[in-house]
Structure 1
């Protein structure tokens, strides 16, 4: 596998009993590339994320993170992955700093390195001055910033985000969307972002449309528009999913 490939999925299928959730999924994400995953409810997005994060075991097909097989080399593969789940996973009764230090301890960082990495990530998100506040005192947008900082502490190659802006106000959403896109461009981190909001897609993003467990479109924004003969991603999504909402 090329060193530039952060995530490679080949022939991935998954079923819940007789119900097929994913059917022969194939795609790659390169370092520095921001890929937006679109799909209606029940399309298979959550199942796909559960397989990439190894919450579910891969039964058919292959998932590789930076060349490491998620099933055969799970520790090495998962070390390359940072995740922001849709539901917050921060401890509300701990401070921002305590939450982040717990994460650095899980990754075996020394206290000195942990302090440096926490400062670096919080400063980039304008949250360093609030590191000793309890998480429950933060608003939704600031909690999301802390979760993104936590996901980046161990310098992953792939950042996985599951609808991270749900419930946030417009300004907070824009700040997070802009920041993640800058990360991909400047730090060369690969991003896989599940979203149902079309305005979170930038012109140079890659887009994957997932519908009923199958990939219906995969390419740059322009490529998807050409494939579907449409003028906007919203129109393309509507046509590919027969009008179902994301």
Structure 2
């Protein structure tokens, strides 16, 4: 197992987690997790089911509070200044969280209103997102009538309207067709490269890791590896990222 030291916070960090612990009764879901996501960096959080990814995301979104350790977003401490920290975050959850009976446009406007955006600001931000993700002609379509892939695109657009510095993607492509999955991965990669958004992409699908700058392997609440995909191959001697992942976790990867 690769030892991962505590990570001193820097001005470039969109996210910095240091020594995060979380227990549920006798079970330790997170046992001292330290990781960082810099602005403009695409970090894949790879782990089998039950690794602790969901618990970590629940802490990062303020649903849970860690038992020990520190989490900061753009320098704002999640425990001491949660409103300030959360203002920097956009998230697409694993479970759909969108009003199926509203149109694409109405869902986006509702989110813009929650963030205090003016109608002019909302329109200016919606137009390029709709065009880039191929939904410009479906803006008045009820979300219920969209495919699963297009519904996910609406959730991604909603997460980006307030122009977050950190985007959290929690198993966001599970169940999507390969074309939709690749389009969402490509958009996240573009955001990191061109808009300096920090991306934390939680997945158990190894092929999604290939576009990342760094991969963090989480297993049984512990960080087993943190480094570039190529370094993961060298460290484990695996012939592929999937083989490297299996060697660290000893689990079958669930496709």
User: Which bracket does the TM-score occupy, shorter chain normalised?
Assistant: over 0.9
Match of 2:147 in 1: 139
Classify the secondary structure of the residue corresponding to 1:215: strand
Match of 1:221 in 2: 229
Classify the secondary structure of the residue corresponding to 1:177: helix
* Separation of aligned partners in 2, 1:65 and 1:203: 23
2:116 counterpart of 1:97: no
Tell me, which stretches of 5 or more residues in structure 2 are unaligned? 1-8
Tell me, which stretches of 5 or more residues in structure 1 are unaligned? none
Per-residue deviation at 1:204? 5.0
Match of 2:30 in 1: 22
Provide the alpha-carbon RMSD of the alignment.
Answer: 1.2
Out of 38, 42, 59, which is 1:34 matched to?
42
Out of 153, 165, 187, which is 1:157 matched to?
165
Match of 1:180 in 2: 188
Match of 1:59 in 2: 67
TM-score by structure 1 length?
0.96
Classify the secondary structure of the residue corresponding to 1:145: helix
* Separation of aligned partners in 2, 1:72 and 1:204: 31
Q: Which moved more, 1:181-190 or 1:202-211?
A: 202-211
* Separation of aligned partners in 1, 2:41 and 2:195: 10
Per-residue deviation at 1:115? 1.7
Q: Which moved more, 1:120-129 or 1:145-154?
A: 120-129
Aligned residues: 246
Per-residue deviation at 1:185? 1.0
Out of 119, 123, 128, which is 2:127 matched to?
119
TM-score by structure 2 length?
0.93
- Compared with structure 1, are the counterparts of its residues 209 and 123 closer, same or farther at alpha carbon in structure 2 (3 Å cutoff)? same
Q: Which moved more, 1:103-112 or 1:77-86?
A: 103-112
Match of 1:74 in 2: 82
